Structure 1
Amino acid sequence: MIVRTGAKAWASVLTSSFPAFVLLQGSLYAAYGTESPFLPSFLGERGLIPGEIGAVLAAGTLMRLAAAPVAGHLADRYDATRAVLGVAAAAAGLISFVYLTGYGFWPLLAVSVLHASAIAALAPLADALALTAAEREGTFSYGWVRGAGSAAFVLGTLVSGLLVAKAGLTSIIVSSGILFLAMAVATSRVPAAHPQEERPSLGLGGIRELLASASFRRMLLVAALVIGSHALNDSFAVIRWREAGIGPGTISLLWSEAVASEVLVFVFAGPWLLARLGVARATLMAAGLGVLRWSAMATTAAIPVLAFVQPLHGLTFALLHLANMRLIASVVPERLAATAQTLYGTLGLGVASAVLTATAGFLYGAFGAGAFWAMAALCALALPLASGLTPKAMVQNSR
């Protein structure tokens, strides 16, 4: 009986929109994983010096931060999230191939800015559609979809290394372009959001409405503090480990632990924890474990300790992201879903990560591993804010 019930449940998942969303998120994050590790090297091969590479990448980051809220607002304003996502994915794929024609600073800067404008809202809009479908159909969890994306990112990164070894750096541009185009095709297979009974007003009314909510602002701040605190780890953890004499093979295993834990939390542990803890306590757990994780990183580079704290990544990042998605799905009106997702991606994640990544170099240069104490402090600051992150409080404050 249990097997039959499980089989029926699995059959309902396979006949739902879940496979289409796996293809959508998988192609998106595989494209990211294929392109991002080797793009700086590709730019260098096309004649850019290190300072110019940094300028091109920074310009792309600034464009993404500016373009994402605009795309989200347009998607909500015209009730066209799926259409905007499909057009943006197709544009991202086509513009990728333009990289192959560029040499020198100004042409590559122009391509980078155009490409960034196209990819800016891909992840937030894909999340908005997946959240809506998961809530509406009730046969799968958003975390399953996002976990598939994380796994695809890892696979894309591994494959890109093989491609570069065999076919050179241009292969990452070709493969990522194909994957973005595959995402555009996959977009047509996922269900659109329900037609909205009430649309946002013209202008920036929807953005103002969201930012007027004290609880929505609190969620953005907690995300900025806790998820933003990962910037130092992403930039300097490997440098710290190498300085401590840890070999490349062990570093790869440590990094793989973090990635594997992210996938496991997205797919299995995260939905289970959210169901039992609720949003506020899950957020408290993420922030508290962030304090523990960065304190350990500041104190020691002993391999047993690192092997213990690396899997905490699934809870300090993935669990918090799932909690924020739960809040958005529960309390943000569907007419503002795309706008909320792009604001979360821009203000809660993008700006904080950009600022803290820039700050990380100065902190690590001045304090070495002690810079991780600053990241622990950011997570500690988030603890008193996390207790107020409940759907009830957010609904009340958004009235």
Structure 2
Amino acid sequence: MKRDGLVGCLALYAALYGAYGCISPILPNVLAAGGLPPERIAILLAAATLVRLVAGPLAGRSADRHAATRPILAAACGLTALAVLGHLPARGFWPFLAVGLAYAVTTAPLAPLADVLGLAAARGGAAFPYGWVRGAGSAAFIAGVGAAGWLVQGFGLAAGLVAGAVLFAAAGAAALAGRDPGLARDRPVAAPGIGFADVLRLPAFRRTVLVAALVIGAHAMHDAFAMILWREAGIGAGAAGLLWAEAVAAEVFVFLIAGPPLLARIGLPGGLAVAAGAGALRWAVQAETVALPWLAAIQSLHGLSFALLHLACLGLIERTVPPAARATALTLYGTVGLGLAGAAATLASGPLYSAFHGRGFWAMAVLSLAALPLVPRLRPPSEGTTSA
């Protein structure tokens, strides 16, 4: 039973994040090739972000209310595959806006609902560490990016879209095929009394989301401007790509190997503190230098500032949120907490980078450090082993 749960989750995460790897790098190029100027692409992507903030929590609440995480996830994956293919005939702003908003609605709950299934199958680490399946997802994302590049180079943008659609459909099939004894055991058939307000009234959940919003939000300037900063410093595309790959490799290493035993030793709140400190150090160094050896040294901190943070946050949510409200909590965490924080920090990053250039990363370091005062209030009087 444990083996079946692990294999099913690995199939789900590999297909889902492989699909994201195929689609994410090429989607802006698809929009540009369809006749959209940069300002229209920005409007479309911003509108999609706003739609996700609403669609994700609504899907999570429905999954909890009807105890239907798997069917809703499978349906969302299938509809996402259709939305991806809908980009093929689209031309001009309004058709792309329609299909883009459909894509935003259907993708909003995918990762959080997959995490609901992953946590349930892992059974608090008794069956397997959740980090194994999430790390497999990150590795699949890298493979998807590489596959998309090869397909686009050989067959055009449409081939990358088709590959992504096939993988989303495969993720839906994996969601339906899996079995979660832990989910069936822990959750009632319906939970009409537990809603958004009930989840948001949980102090530990609010603090966890706020810590995550601060630490993940601090990545915004890096995601938006690091490649520009490095190029202006004379770092070639090949070296910049290797720096980015190093960060993702560190993420996979923490998810698969280092994260679970580290959290078992230092505790979930300790993991948040380490993640916040690692992020602050990373951004402080980036604010002061673009020397390649220093950049190579700090990229590995991404494994702590992102992967360890995610493991600790999900462990805290699993520990503090009732199972019948877990899909609601994870969609709030993913789409509102992280999505809204990331959007706000990205908007702030533009003026900061324009005014201070690389020194603007000091603001991101301060943002990470602002999470530290919240951590002690997440530590119970006698903390046992973690469930991440």
**How does the TM-score come out when normalised to structure 2?**
0.95
Tell me if the contact between 1:327 and 1:391 (Cα under 8 Å) persists in the aligned partners. no
Q: Counterpart of 1:26 in structure 2: which amino acid? A: A
The reply to whether residue 222 of structure 1 matches residue 232 of structure 2 is no
- CA RMSD in angstroms comes to 1.6
TM superposition shift of 1:96: 1.5
> C-alpha distance in 2, partners of 1:392/1:92?
44
Give 1:95 shift: 1.9
| 1:238 has 2:227 as partner | yes
TM-superposed deviation, 1:329: 1.4
Number of the residue aligned with 1:250:
239
Q: Note if 1:208 corresponds to 2:193.
A: no
- Partner amino acid for 1:27? A
Match of 1:189 among 177, 200, 203: 177
Distance 1:174 1:242 in 2: 32
- When structure 1 is superposed on structure 2, of 307-316 and 241-250 the one drifting more is 241-250
Give the aligned partner of residue 386 of structure 2.
none
Aligned positions of 1:5-84 closer than 5 A: 15-84=3-72
Deviations 1:119-177 (A, max 9, x none): 11000000011001101682211100000000011111111111111111111211111
Q: Is the 8 A contact 2:276 2:368 kept in 1?
A: yes
- Select which of 338, 354, 367 maps to 1:349: 338
Pairing 1:38-187 to 2, within 5 Å after superposition = 38-135=26-123, 138-187=126-175
Among 250, 263, 270, the alignment partner of 2:252 is: 263
1:321 counterpart letter in structure 2: H
Distance 1:217 1:376 in 2: 22
Unpaired runs of 5+ in structure 1? 1-11, 395-399
2:108–2:335 Cα contact (<8 Å) kept: no
How far the C-alpha of 1:199 sits from its partner, in A, is 3.6
CA distance in structure 2 between the aligned counterparts of 1:362 and 1:295, rounded to whole angstroms: 18
In structure 2, relative to structure 1, the CA distance for the partners of 1:383 and 1:272 (3 Å cut) is: same
**% of aligned pairs identical?**
49
Assess if the C-alpha contact under 8 Å between 1:215 and 1:393 holds in 2: no
Q: CA deviation at 1:358?
A: 1.6
The DSSP-based 3-state class of the residue aligned with 2:283 is: helix
**Which has the higher mean CA deviation after the structures are superposed, 369-378 or 95-104?**
95-104
Letter in 2 for 1:154: I
2:255, 2:311 within 8 Å by CA — same for their partners in 1? Answer: yes
- Deviation at residue 32 of structure 1 after TM alignment: 0.8
User: Unaligned regions of 5+ residues in structure 2, if any?
Assistant: 384-388
| Structure 1 position 387, deviation (Å) | 1.8
The one-letter amino acid of 1:131's match is L
Any runs of at least 4 consecutive aligned residues in structure 1 with deviations exceeding 4 A, and if so which?
391-394
Determine the C-alpha separation between the residues in 1 that align with 2:375 and 2:249.
26
Which of the residues 314, 317, 327 maps onto 1:328?
Answer: 317
Q: Within 2, Cα distance between the matches of 1:392 and 1:270?
A: 23
How far the C-alpha of 1:349 sits from its partner, in A, is 0.8
After TM superposition, give the deviation of residue 44 of structure 1 in Å: 1.1
Q: How many residues align?
A: 380
